[in-house]
Amino acid sequence: MRLEPDARQLSDAQRALTLQLLSEVDERLPPRMRQQLDRTVQVRWSYGLPEQVMGRASRTDRILLNGRFLDQLLESESATLPGRTHPDLYTELQAALIHELAHLYDQGRYWHPAEALQLRYCRTRFETQSSPGLPAICRGQINRRYTLSDSPRLLDLAGWPEQVGRRNLRERINRQRLRTPDPYELEDAQEFVAVNLEYFLLDPEYGCRRPGLAAFFRDHFSWEPATVLPCASSLPYLSAELNAEHAALGWLDPKRIYQVHYLLAEPDDSWAGRWGHSMLRLVICAPGRAPGPECVLDLQHHLVLSYRAFVDDLQLSSWDGLTGVYPSRLFFLPLQRVIDEYTRTELRSLTSVPLNLSPAQINDLAVHAISQHWSYDGVYYFVGNNCAVETLKLLRTGSHHAALLDLDSQTPQGLLDLLQARGLADASPLRDAEQARRMGYRFDSYRQRYQQLYETIRRALALGPTSVDQWLEMLATDRARYLSETDLRTTAALLMLEQAALRRQVQRLQHELKQRYLSDGAGDTLLNEAGDLMQQLLRGGSVLSRPADLLDSGYGLPQPADRHLLESRARQQYTSLLAMSDRIEEQLPMLFTARQRSELEGIGSNIQQLQQQLRRLHREAGGLQLP
């Protein structure tokens, strides 16, 4: 390929600047790109382009650049353009030229804009020539191939993955729309390729900001730009756990990941949880420990990747979940938070099944997950784009494992079954249930534990109710009659069950308050104040699932230069949310009815009595004094 300037009617200064621009762009192009574009491409300055257009491919092998910008550049070499993402006007013109050359390379030959628009329509609406109702205008065009933007790998990374359950059909809307260098890249795959080649060739940080795409371009061209900056070893994520004792911003080093597990929460009776929940568990080794089997027990360092419907109001609607009203976002959560949430609060068991992935696949999956965390803002459907579908797409694109490419499942248990059938999931650590619990592959619901504890006290106290649920549904004053004159073991069991009763009662009261606020709370000033605070807390908490909102500029993964601002804003956001949460906690007791307050006070009195009784019995048994 040869870039040839149309120097007619150019002054000496204009001609010199044009030659410099073309020469520098030519030097930046990958050798393979220059070889395949084996032609002369004429570049001409035009004053007929719309004011905001930097450049445009006019007809076969001709590119027009906007002459207005040539005049601006001659006036000031340091000129900049407001609202543009490249650092200065000169780089913008380089990018415009690269952008149009990328289209020529991607298309293999130049297509007239009307022809390209027609082809885009055909390919979007009809995926194969045998599609029923294929218009005559599309016949003969539907099978034309692009050089880059037809690549399944590129489409996966770019944000048009194959639809789960609909083979050969791609997602029509690109949801990786946060932290984008140029929203124009989301128009279609051809524009995505052109925009990203600009940054791949011009931005030394591109490989750190979009590592998966940079690797794709390097592999395609068997080449990389001469100026590439080294990337940080750890990648930032925002923890979705609102906890004053933990840092808001976390840093993940993919090299510390020993395994990735498929984490399955068993179904429950709620609308949103009736199919179970799919997650991925990153088995991260403690600092200083080399990756190995011992890392499985470093539970305090493990992270869970969980796609969830982010609900920014106080009511989870099944209809909204079916019609895709809720955003779908990738949450990063500490494993212990997830264990407590499911086993203690929701009384659902968790199964953690190791996936057979190579270290390279684990690394790529982790990097892709972090990229999704910062860029993805999807739409959640309970059926069609739920946690299982999102998890499968993350696994498929992140690891690029050959056995995942044609795998389809829309239910959490179904996905696990298929992963096992393909040899991708290893369920052998779960064969021995006791060993699985001890080694952290199985986390049982507290429901079984509570029932076992209840059986202990039922035999000791000759109680009438046969199930723990019946016991917990009794009034606190009725349970209080059985608390005294028990032995050490029975007292400890009663204490655990009374604490469970407290969690159940608090959860119930929160739900009742929500329903009051949504229905007939218009005249209740205190309730409305608390409800408004809850709404603010939920809206403010959206940043926990959309960390891109913490930064005003840049694209892709945040870089070391962003660290101070990221940590400062994340800390501010956490502080504000925690303060709001404390204010809600202070107001809640005033909103309870006399009956609700009496029940809470009764449970509190039972817990206090059992704690004192436990200390006394422990001392009498000769043990150390309990706190």
DSSP 176: -
d(CA 234, CA 137) in angstroms, rounded, equals 51
d(CA 486, CA 460) in angstroms, rounded, equals 8
CA 31 to chain centre: 36
Lowest mean pLDDT among 41-45, 73-77, 309-313, 438-442: 309-313
Mean pLDDT calculated for residue range 281-299: 96
CB atoms within 10 A of CB 305: 26
DSSP 626: P
pLDDT in tens, 46-87: 999 998 889 998 666 899 999 999 988 998 877 888 777 899
User: One-letter amino acid identity for 508?
Assistant: R
Lowest mean pLDDT among 365-369, 456-460, 573-577: 573-577
d(CA 161, CA 121) in angstroms, rounded, equals 19
pLDDT at 509: 80
pLDDT at 205: 96
Please tell me the chain's helix, strand, coil percentages from 3-state DSSP, rounded to the nearest 5: 55, 10, 35
pLDDT at 314: 40
Q: Is the per-residue pLDDT at 174 higher than 60?
A: yes
Lowest mean pLDDT among 158-167, 261-270, 316-325, 379-388: 316-325
Would strands 2-5 and 40-46 be described as parallel, antiparallel, or unpaired?
Answer: parallel
Phi, psi angles (nearest 5°) of residue 473: -80, -15
Q: Is the per-residue pLDDT at 507 higher than 50?
A: yes
- The two tokens of residue 580 are 């709001």
Strand-pairing partners, residue 284, are 257
Strand-pairing partners, residue 389, are none
Please identify which residue in the block is written with the tokens 């106080």.
Answer: 314
Phi, psi angles (nearest 5°) of residue 620: -65, -30
d(CA 557, CA 236) in angstroms, rounded, equals 8
Lowest mean pLDDT among 182-196, 273-287, 417-431: 273-287
CB atoms within 10 A of CB 145: 8
CA 3 to chain centre: 42
d(CA 300, CA 186) in angstroms, rounded, equals 39
CB–CB of 503/511 below 8 Å?
no
Sheet containing 257-265: give its strands across: 378-380, 326-334, 303-309, 277-284, 257-265, 350-354, 442-443
- Split at pLDDT 50, 70, 90, the class of 301 is very high
Tell me the whole-structure pTM to 2 decimals: 0.85
pLDDT in tens, 451-503: 999 998 998 888 888 899 899 999 999 999 998 878 899 999 999 999 999 98
Q: Is the per-residue pLDDT at 202 higher than 50?
A: yes
Q: Is the per-residue pLDDT at 178 higher than 90?
A: yes
Residues contacting residue 514 through CB under 8 Å, at least 6 positions apart: 314, 315, 534
- The two tokens of residue 261 are 């597990």
Helix H, strand E, coil C: the string for 230-286 is: CCCCCEEEEECCCCCCCCCEEEECHHHEEEEEEEEECCCCCCCCCCCEEEEEEEECC
pLDDT at 499: 93
d(CA 196, CA 191) in angstroms, rounded, equals 8
- Split at pLDDT 50, 70, 90, the class of 253 is very high
CB–CB of 314/541 below 8 Å?
no
DSSP 9: T
pLDDT at 426: 96
pLDDT at 147: 86
pLDDT at 318: 42
pLDDT in tens, 313-339: 444 444 343 334 456 788 899 999 999
Average pLDDT, the chain: 85
No. of helices (H) and no. of strands (E), the chain: 22, 13
Express as a percent the part of the chain with pLDDT over 70: 83
Helix H, strand E, coil C: the string for 494-525 is: HHHHHHHHHHHHHHHHHHHHHHHHHCCHHHCH
pLDDT at 544: 74
Q: Is the per-residue pLDDT at 562 higher than 90?
A: yes
Residues contacting residue 144 through CB under 8 Å, at least 6 positions apart: 119
- The two tokens of residue 528 are 């409305």
Helix H, strand E, coil C: the string for 529-570 is: HHHHHHHHHHHHHHHHCCHHHHCCCCCCCCCHHHHHHHHHHH
Strand-pairing partners, residue 262, are 280, 353
Residue 324's alpha-carbon distances to 47, 177, 379, in angstroms, are 46, 17, 6
d(CA 282, CA 103) in angstroms, rounded, equals 39
pLDDT in tens, 78-136: 788 877 789 999 999 999 999 999 999 998 754 455 555 666 666 565 544 444 555 65
- The two tokens of residue 5 are 């300037």
Would strands 277-284 and 62-66 be described as parallel, antiparallel, or unpaired?
Answer: unpaired
pLDDT at 325: 40
Q: Which of 166-170, 344-348, 440-444 tops mean pLDDT?
A: 440-444
- The two tokens of residue 458 are 């039922």
Lowest mean pLDDT among 92-101, 173-182, 264-273, 565-574: 264-273
Kind and range of the H or E run holding 380: strand 378-380
User: Please, how many CA atoms are within 13 Å of residue 485, restricted to the half-sphere of its CB?
Assistant: 3
pLDDT at 395: 96
pLDDT at 347: 87
3-class state of residue 45 by DSSP: strand
User: Please, how many CA atoms are within 13 Å of residue 126, restricted to the half-sphere of its CB?
Assistant: 20
Our CA angle for 50, 54, 59, nearest 5°, is 80
d(CA 262, CA 256) in angstroms, rounded, equals 18
